[in-house]
Amino acid sequence: MAQLIADRRDIDFVLHEQLEVEKLSNHETFGEFNRKTMDMVVSEARNLSLKEVLPTNVIGDRKGCEFQNGLVKVPEEFQKIWQLYRDGEWIAMTEKPEWGGQGMPHALSVAATEYLNGANMAMFMYVALTHGAANLIEAFGTDQQKKQCLRNMYTGKWGGTMLLTEPNAGSDVGALETTAKKNPDGTYSITGNKIFISAGENDLVENIIHPVLARIEGAPAGTRGISLFLVPKIRINEDGTLGELNDVVCTGIEHKMGIHGNCTCSLSLGAKGSCIGTLLGEENKGMKAMFQMMNEARIYCGIQGLSLASSSYMNAVNYAKQRVQGANLMTMLDKNPPAVPIIQHPDVRRQLMNMKVYVEGMRSLLYYLAYLNDLVKIEGSTEEKERLQGIVDVLIPVAKGYVTDRCFDVCSHGVQVFGGYGFIEEYPQAQLLRDARITMIYEGSNGIQAMDLLGRKLGMKKGKPVMDLFAEIQKTTSEAKKNDALKDLGEDLEDAMTKLGETAMHMGKKAMSAEVMSAFAFAHPFLEATGDVIMAWLLLWRALVASKKVETAKKDKTFYIGQMKSAEFFIESILPISLGKMNAIMKNSHAAVDMSEDAFG
C-alpha cells in the first residue's frame, strides 16, 4: 500500500485562509514570497517528497545504519536524497542567502518540512540537526567560526549535531562530566563521552561540526558552570581547508525501536588527549546558548509529530474507504446484507474523527507558531516583538510535549483502523507508530515540557505572556459568539478557558508552596488540559474562517463543512473531558507523592 503524507488542501487552508501568510510579502524581508511563490515552494517540496524521498523510507527502516571501525554508513539510497536536499537548498530554507539559505518565511518552511519529514523522518533528521547547529554558530559564533562553518553547513557540505547527553547526565544536564582545559593558543582540550547523539557520525558529509557542552576546569558546579564549544570531526585550518582528525571517535550505534535510518551514536572525545575545540559564545553561558538550539529542536519535534500523525491519518482514511468488512448497522437485520467499507462503521468513524481533529489542530498550532516567529522578525515595535515572543515561549512546551503525545495516540489509532494489517510491517502504520515514540522522549522528555510550562512559563514576566495568549483566544470566542452556527461552541470554549485560568492560578500557587511536589505531579495533566484548550481554540478559529465561505463555496463546500464539524466534535466530545482533567488537578491529590517507594512494588 502506498503511503500518504499530508493533505495539500488543508495546508493551503492554514497558510492562506487561516493565517493569510502571503501578507508577509508586504514587508521587504519577505518581499519575493508572494502567494504564487509560496505555492510553488510547497508544490516542489511535495513532489520531491513523494517521488524521491518517500521510496527510501521503508528501505532506511529495514536496512538501518552500519557501524564498522569507528565509521557509520547510512543506507546508500540516502546519498542521492542528501544531494537533492543540497541542490534544492532545503537545508537552510529560512536563512540568509549570503550563507547559502533561501530567506523564506518560517511558516512556509514548516509546510515544506511537513512533507520532507513525513516522507522520511530518519533522513530529514540529518538536515534538522545540521540546521540547528549552524543556527547556533550564526547566533553566537565569532566571525571566524561563521566564515569557516556557516556556508559549508547550510549548503550540506558539512553536517552538524548537538552533544548534550552523557551516561550519567541525561535530562539532568548539570551533572555532565565532560571537561574542557584551556590551551595557551586560546583553544580548549575536550575530554568526555557523549551518548544518544543523533547523526553523530555518518558518511553523508565530509565533516561534522559538534556543538559540545562541557565544563571548563574550575567552573562552578551545575548548569551555571557549563560552556559550549565547537568541536569538528576534522580540524579546520586557518584558511578553511580540512586538516587532521580531531580525536572524536564513534564507539558504537544504538539498535532502536524506530528511526533506524538515522544513526544514534556514542562518541568518545579526547580519548587520545587530542580533541580540540573552540569556545562558542561566553564561558559558563553554554546552557543559555544551547537553549536556542533546544527551542528550535523542540518545535521541530512537534513538526515530526504532525507529519507522522498526518501520514497515519491519511493512510487510515484511504484504507477505511477501500476495506470492505461487515454490514452497515442500519442493514444488519436485512436478509444477506451487503458488506460495506469500514468507514461506514461508527467506531471507525469515531477513531478517524479523533485523528482528524488532532492533525488539523497540530497543523494550525505549528504553522501559527512559525508565523509568530516571522512577525517577530519583521515587527518594528520592541513592545510588540516582546508580546509575540512571549506567546511563542508559552507555546513551545505545548508544541513539543502535547503535540507529540497526541501524535502517538493518532498513530496508534492508525494501526487500529487497519486492524491486523496495521500490525504487519508491510503496511506503513507500524513504522509510523514506532518512529513516533521517540518524539515524546528526546529534546527534553514530555514530562520536562510539562515542568517547563508550570515552573517557568506560567510565571514568566509576571504572567503577561500567558495572558497575551488568552487574549488571542478571547478574540476568537468573541467572534464565534456572534456567529449563529458557532455561538454555542464559542461559549463552551470561553468557559473552558476561564476554567483553565483558574487551574493555572491554582497550580502556580501550589508550585510555590509546601505542596510543590504534588503540584508538579500534576504538571503533565496540566499540559494536557492547556493543549486541549489551545486545540479547541485553533479548531474554532478554523471553523470561523470556513463558516464565512461555506455558503458561497462550490467544489470546496465539503471541506469547509468538515472544518466546522471538526470544531464541533472537539469542543463537544473532547473538551468536556478536559474539564474533568482540570477538576482532578484542582483536587490536588497527594497520593502519588505520599506513596512510599516500597509500596510501588
Point out the residues that are catalytic: 443
CA dist 322 and 292 (Å) reads 46
Looking at residue 240, the DSSP 8-state letter turns out to be S
List CB contacts of 505: < 8 A, sequence separation 6 or more: none
CA dist 322 and 112 (Å) reads 29
CA dist 16 and 34 (Å) reads 11
CA dist 386 and 372 (Å) reads 11
**Rounded to the nearest 5°, which phi and psi values hold at 236?**
-110, 125
CA dist 376 and 163 (Å) reads 29
- Are 164 and 290 spatial neighbours (Cβ–Cβ below 8 Å)? yes
Q: How far is CA 172 from CA 164, 218, 223, in A?
A: 10, 20, 9
- Are 367 and 107 spatial neighbours (Cβ–Cβ below 8 Å)? yes
CA dihedral sign, ordered 288, 289, 292, 298: negative
- Are 227 and 180 spatial neighbours (Cβ–Cβ below 8 Å)? yes
DSSP string covering 472-502, please? HHHHHHHHHTTSTTTHHHHHHHHHHHHHHHH
CA dist 50 and 61 (Å) reads 17
CA dist 452 and 446 (Å) reads 10
For residue 360 the three cell numbers come to 488539523
CA dist 351 and 245 (Å) reads 53
- Are 193 and 244 spatial neighbours (Cβ–Cβ below 8 Å)? no
CA dist 87 and 102 (Å) reads 12
- Are 290 and 135 spatial neighbours (Cβ–Cβ below 8 Å)? no
For residue 134 the three cell numbers come to 549552524
For residue 133 the three cell numbers come to 547547529
**Conformation bin of residue 123: beta by default, left when phi > 0, alpha when psi is -120 to 50:** alpha
DSSP string covering 33-101, please? --HHHHHHHHHHHHHHIIIIITHHHHHHHHH--EEETTEEE--THHHHHHHHHHHTT-TTTTS-GGGT-
- Are 265 and 252 spatial neighbours (Cβ–Cβ below 8 Å)? yes
Looking at residue 420, the DSSP 8-state letter turns out to be G
- Are 233 and 248 spatial neighbours (Cβ–Cβ below 8 Å)? yes
